[in-house]
Amino acid sequence: MILVLIVLLPIIFLVARSTTPVIDVTSPITVLGLATPVTVRVHDVRGLRKLEASVEQNGVHYPVWKEDQATHVADGTWNFTAGVNSTPQLKDGKAKLILEATSNDLLRKTGRWERDVTVVTRPPTVSVDSDQHYLYLGMADLATFNVSGAWTDAGVRVGDQIFRAWPVPGGKPGYFSLFAFAWNMPSNTVPVVYASNGAGNDVTSPIVFQFPKKEQPKYTVHDLQVSDAFMQKVVNELDPNGSGDPVARFVKINNEMRRANNQVLFDLRLKTTDKFLWSQPFVRQSHSQSEATFADLRNYIYKGKKIDQQVHLGYDLAVTQHVGVEASNDGRVVYAAPLGIYGNCIIVDHGYGLQTLYGHLSHIDVHEGDMVKRGQVMGTSGQTGMAGGDHIHFGMLLDGVQIDPKEWWDSHWIKDHIAKRIDLPGFHD
């Protein structure tokens, strides 16, 4: 028995201490192009005897890369490329990237990692409509285009802003994008249609456009006097647990909270639907007067001193106190809750990334997921958030970018820029 134990104990010891390598690919890989970079991190307390990469396609296994110099490093990182350059046998289509790591202990256990990928051997191509697009600061427009070849992402790019591609409705060929020329976009920016295959092969094609300087909107500058009462109202409502200098708290809310709130608005673009939920022009709040318009520059003045400056990206529409807040068009509610500087806020999605915002409400009468009709009362106006009086902050967003609503109230603009280029079911001007 003792002899058996003497023989078995080392084996048991080795088995107990043996490990299986853990493989982690740090870069998200869904496409293999000509030479797609791969970064692999492997953990094994015994180090590695061997690390191999291969691609499997149509039942055939192709070696791609191998590291067979033994190492005692517990955590190692390796870089290599995989794709058509190193494996010319690969064809366009689905495949599987496989990694196998063998431990440097006596049992040499092997860890395995695999991922479904798409092989792309050539870049996509794009062709854009030949329409003349007249663009203005803060304005939206629609472009149609075709994309061929293998691609994973497409749309319209304006500077650093991206607007998604959608299939043309009704099963018709091609794609379209609703895109915006933001209020602060440099006027020499050229909008382009782009397509990418995820393997570093991006292609672009410029959109034919004019940017008439004489017809650009003139943004106004307002000095907004901040009273002690308004400052206290804002800091008490939006920073109830804060302390310290009220001016510093107010400025922090107006900057940091504003950025955080606008990020929430940007992220809500992901809750859009892939169809038109509207068929008529958007309508402005009934009997309303504009107290502020889109992209007004506001200087916040406190006791004769400028303490902050912000751009107001919407319309402040006033009627009477606690007026019923009307949906500007048919859509689906994707947000109905307090939102910092916007106070009690409703966001309605109208499809294809187009959304409307209703802020500063005293009461909300709809819930997330509700379908609303054009003109339907969704709540009552108020002065929650950073509102100095009872009004509705009305805004519009396109793929998260805040745009000027006034064009969408114009049936002729919708006909010329939307309905003429793509079928808008039920539209009539």
Q: Using CA atoms, how far apart are residues 219 and 217, in angstroms rounded to an integer? A: 6
185 and 167 inside one domain: yes
Same domain, yes or no: 239 and 368: yes
Q: Are 205 and 301 contained in the same domain?
A: no
Q: Verify that 41 and 161 share a domain, yes or no.
A: no
Is 1 inside any structural domain? no
Single residue among 178, 195, 215 that ends a domain in this structure: 215
Q: φ, ψ for residue 409 (rounded to 5)? A: -85, -5
Query: DSSP character for 216?
Result: S
Predicted local distance difference test score (pLDDT) of residue 57? 95
411: left (phi over 0), alpha (psi -120 to 50) or beta: alpha
380, 325 in Cβ contact below 8 A? yes
Amino acid (1-letter code) at residue 116:
D
What's the CATH number where 103 sits? 2.60.40.1930
Tokens linked to 378? 């969704």
Closest of 85, 117, 100 to residue 53, by C-alpha: 100
Residues 146 and 244 grouped into a single domain: no
pLDDT along the chain (429 residues), means of 10: 49 55 85 88 89 94 89 86 90 92 87 90 89 92 92 93 95 94 92 86 89 79 94 96 94 97 97 96 95 93 96 95 97 98 98 98 98 98 96 97 95 94 83
Q: Enter the pTM of the model.
A: 0.82
- Whether residue 383 lies inside any domain: the answer is yes
Residue 429 domain-assigned (yes or no): no
**Residue-level pLDDT at 8:** 45
Residues 366 and 245 in one domain: yes
Among 157, 158, 154, CA closest to 136: 158
CATH number, domain containing residue 345: 2.70.70.10
Domain extent for 205:
125-215
Give the C-alpha separation, 56 to 112, whole Å: 14
- Which of 171, 187, 215 marks a domain boundary? 215
In a domain, 57, yes or no: yes
Sign of the CA dihedral with 219 first, then 220, 226, and 229 last: negative
Mention every residue, 6+ apart, whose C-beta is less than 8 A from residue 311: 183, 184, 295, 296, 297, 298
Q: Which residues pair with 196 in a beta bridge?
A: 153, 202
Q: Is residue 54 part of a domain?
A: yes
Quick check: is 274 in a domain?
yes
Last residue of some domain: 179, 195, 215? 215
The answer to whether residue 318 is domain-embedded is yes
Q: Which residues lie across from 397 on neighbouring strands?
A: 355, 402
Domain count, the chain: 3
The partner residues of 125 in beta bridges, in order of sequence, read 148
Same domain, 268 and 390: yes
